[in-house]
Amino acid sequence: MKRNHITQQDIADKLKVSRITVSKALRNHPDISAGMKERIIKAVERMGYSPNLIAKQLSLQKTFTLGIVVPDLENCFFAYLVDSIIDTATEHNYHIILTVSREKEAFERNNIMNLIGMRVDGLLVCVSQQTSDQKVFKYARKMKIPLVFFDRAIKDLNFSYVAFNDKIATKEAINQLIAGGYTKIAHFAGFSSTSIGSERCAGYKEALISNGIPIREEWIIEGGYEIDDGIRAFEKLWATGKLPEIILAVNDRVASGAYKAIRKTGLKIPHDIGILGYGFSDTAHLFSPTLSIINQDPRKMGRIAANLLIDEIQGISQNSHTEILIEVDFQWNTSILKKQSILS
């Protein structure tokens, strides 16, 4: 009906040569003489030719496209992560088809099947919290489509994955706090049913135990992952009358809620109480005082995951089952007072 686009055939007709000659010239094939190449390139410019990548993909059986599935782009963490994946992909001349699962298994499955239909060269997936059926991933395996999980993985499928070492990082952070002279540390936890919640809580407990500090169950307050959960958690803590020196908040939104609730009581951060959260630099600096964090850099994760996938696609990485646990560092910002110089 429209037929707007110029094809190689059109150029060939104009120059009275074969379309293969045009194809070869555009790919700088040695078959074609310099003079002919120049004529063709000039015609291309003049006629406004845009190569049809769809046709190219079909012919080459390769799309130079990566498919991404994230649970939710409104989570800044994933936004930064996707941004960094796009950066890395672009560097290697890959395009990105982005899909969002909204934490729904059905959407996730649908997205993945669609991406496979689009014949992406590889998949980057952060599984939804709901996901239990492994069928679609087994299908990807059967079709030999390179797939890398990031942040959250289905472990027993032998796909590569990249994640933060939450437990170790938490343990180390608490160790540093204890070394700095703190002993009264509470935890505003998520839910022990989610991997994030349980891993972080486990690290917290292990650190206390290994330092001989008894675990006070009333200082582990489960609740959720939102601002209101942080508010409620602190109110609960405040009601007991006995405050810790430090609160470890399970993420930055809970930390934000804690800030609000603490401010309401008139207590001062960090002088009266310190806060440690999980997150990354940019959001931590939105807090005032700036939030100390167990630093989970989304850009780092995105870069590593994308590179891993591209390596697998290009067959550089023979091993298609690489597990990378990103080493986490800490940013001791102004939400915690340095008791001793150990916190550095």
The residues that touch DNA, with contacts defined as CB under 7 A, are 3, 5, 7-9, 17-21, 23-24, 26-27, 30-36, 51-52, 54-56, 58-61
In order of 29, 48, 65, 117, the CA distances from 51 in angstroms are 16, 10, 16, 22
Selected from 14, 19, 119, 152, the binder of a copy of itself by CB under 8 A is 119
Give the shortest CB-51-to-DNA separation in angstroms. 4
Q: Closest separation between CB of residue 283 and a copy of itself, Å?
A: 8
Q: What is the DSSP string of 229-263?
A: HHHHHHHHHHHHS---SEEEESSHHHHHHHHHHHH
Residue 313 binds a copy of itself (CB under 8 A): no
Q: Which residues contact 197 (CB under 8 A, 6 or more apart)?
A: 189, 190, 191, 222, 250
Q: Determine the Cα–Cα distance for residues 47 and 122; give it in Å rounded to an integer.
A: 35
Residues 6+ apart with CB under 8 A from 93: 64
With H, G, I as helix, E, B as strand and everything else as coil, classify residue 75. coil
Residue 335's binding partner among a copy of itself, DNA, none (Cβ under 5 to 8 angstroms by kind) is none
Q: Is 86 in the site for a copy of itself (CB under 8 A)?
A: yes
Tokens of 228: 């209101």
Which of 14, 15, 37, 99 forms a contact with a copy of itself (CB under 8 A)? 99
- Indicate which single residue of 31, 91, 282, 323 sits in contact with a copy of itself (rule: CB under 8 A): 282
Amino acid found at 196: I
Minimum CB–partner distance for residue 57 and a copy of itself (Å) = 5
Phi, psi of 282 (to 5 degrees): -60, -45
87 binds, among a copy of itself, DNA, none (CB under 5 to 8 A by kind): a copy of itself
Instruction: Identify whether 51 is preceded by a cis peptide bond (ω within 30 of 0).
Output: no
Asked if 31 and 20 touch (Cβ cutoff 8 Å), the reply is: no
> Taking CB within 5 to 8 Å according to partner kind, which of DNA, a copy of itself, none is near residue 23?
DNA
User: Of a copy of itself, DNA, none, which one sits near residue 72, judging by CB under 5 to 8 A according to partner kind?
Assistant: a copy of itself
Residue choice 10, 51, 176, 183 for contact with a copy of itself (CB under 8 A): 51
Residue 142 binds a copy of itself (CB under 8 A): yes
Residue with tokens 């089952």: 321
Which partner in DNA, a copy of itself, none is near 96 (CB below 5 to 8 A by kind)?
a copy of itself
Residue 322 C-beta: closest distance to a copy of itself, Å: 21
Q: Which is nearer to a copy of itself, 4 or 132 (CB)?
A: 4
Phi, psi values for residue 341, rounded to 5°: -75, 0
8 Å CB contact between 71 and 150? no
Instruction: Give residues in contact with a copy of itself (CB under 8 A).
Output: 2, 4-5, 48, 50-55, 57-58, 63, 65, 72-74, 76, 78-80, 82-83, 86-87, 90, 95-100, 113-114, 116-119, 139, 142-145, 227, 253, 256, 259-260, 263, 282, 285-286, 288
